[in-house]
């Protein structure tokens, strides 16, 4: 797959819709199983088709000039699914890295992985490390893959790392600030998501980016992930462009 490395942040989207473009869009790619079941297909077919949607979303993000795309690819709770489905998803991740990594690298995409790496199977861990290492100098679209990710666990790990510094005398308890915690998270150095898109009609965060989503805009799409199209993506971007973000303050007009 190829992603245009040429992106101009905060401009007009490819279809001509005006308004501000989000710097960072995060996706909860939901509804693969329902899409497949509705067609009397095995759930795994939904995941396979979901990977096609992911490819199209990455391409489109590069084209319109989004800087960061985060995908919730596998949550720490997803291990409780039937073994066959988990192993299919691991195979899909393997195929994604093996087939798409060199194209993504050529397109100047930088891959970052967030989530708990502690208990990952060595083969999977090696793949994720390879994707990050190969692309670490790239300057185009940032693709953040949330894998074995759970937001509460991420916050706990960040708190533990700060507590260890306090125990060693490297940090005072009073120095623990929002900035310090932000920098201890897996997402350190990334802007917070401006827009979080969830497909399939479900309206919840499901333990995704709880800390980082403090001021995110949410967009819920009724379509299941395998049928989420570039036009649907553009609709979400146009909707974002029309929103007023106040960060707890007032509109410029209202404050006069």
Catalytic site positions:
30, 78
Nearest Cα neighbor of 192 from 144, 250, 156, 152 is 144
Helices 43-64 + 230-241 axis angle, to 10: 50
Residue nearest to ligand FPP (CB): 33
Give 69's strand partners: 25, 143
Contact range with ligand FPP by CB under 6 A, out of 12-20, 24-32, 181-189, 245-253: 24-32
Which residues from 44-103 bind ligand FPP, rule CB under 6 A?
A: 47, 50-51, 54, 73-74, 78, 89, 92-93, 96
Which positions from 150 through 169 interact with ligand FPP, judged by CB under 6 A? none
Please report whether residue 111 would count as binding ligand FPP according to CB under 6 A: no
How far, in Å, CA of 57 to CA of 138, rounded?
19
- The sign of the torsion formed by the CA atoms of 207, 119, 183, 70 equals negative
Among 22, 23, 31, 144, binds ligand FPP (CB under 6 A): 31
Task: Select 80 or 244, whichever has its Cβ closest to ligand FPP.
Answer: 80
Would the annotation count 217 as a binding residue?
Answer: yes
| Residue in 197, 176, 208, 210 with CA at minimum distance from that of residue 240 | 197
Note whether 193 and 223 are within 8 A (CB): no
Binding site for ligand FPP (CB under 6 A): 29-34, 47, 50-51, 54, 73-74, 78, 89, 92-93, 96, 225
Binding residues for Mg(2+): 30, 217
């Amino acid at each position: 797959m190829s992603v245009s490395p040429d992106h101009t942040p905060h401009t007009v989207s490819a279809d001509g819709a005006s308004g501000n473009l989000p710097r960072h869009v995060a996706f909860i790619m939901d509804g693969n199983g329902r899409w497949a079941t509705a067609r009397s297909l095995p759930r795994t077919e939904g995941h396979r088709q979901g990977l096609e949607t992911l490819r199209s979303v990455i391409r489109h993000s590069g084209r319109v000039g989004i800087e960061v795309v985060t995908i919730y690819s596998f949550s720490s709770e997803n291990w409780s699914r039937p073994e066959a489905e988990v192993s299919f998803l691991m195979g899909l991740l393997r195929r994604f890295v093996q087939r798409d990594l060199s194209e993504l690298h050529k397109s100047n995409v930088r891959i970052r992985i967030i989530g708990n790496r502690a208990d990952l199977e060595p083969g999977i861990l090696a793949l994720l490390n390879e994707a990050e290492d190969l692309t670490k100098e790239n300057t185009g679209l940032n693709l953040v893959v949330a894998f074995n990710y759970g937001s509460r666990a991420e916050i706990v790990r960040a708190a533990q790392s700060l507590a260890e510094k306090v125990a060693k005398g490297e940090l005072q308890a009073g120095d623990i600030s929002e900035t310090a915690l932000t920098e201890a998270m897996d997402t350190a150095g990334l802007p917070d998501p401006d827009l979080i898109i969830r497909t399939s009609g479900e309206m919840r965060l499901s333990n995704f980016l709880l800390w980082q989503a403090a001021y995110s805009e949410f967009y819920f799409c009724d379509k299941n992930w395998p049928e989420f199209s570039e036009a649907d993506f553009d609709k979400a971007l146009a909707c974002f462009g029309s929103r007023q973000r106040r960060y707890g303050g007032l509109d410029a007009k209202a404050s006069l």
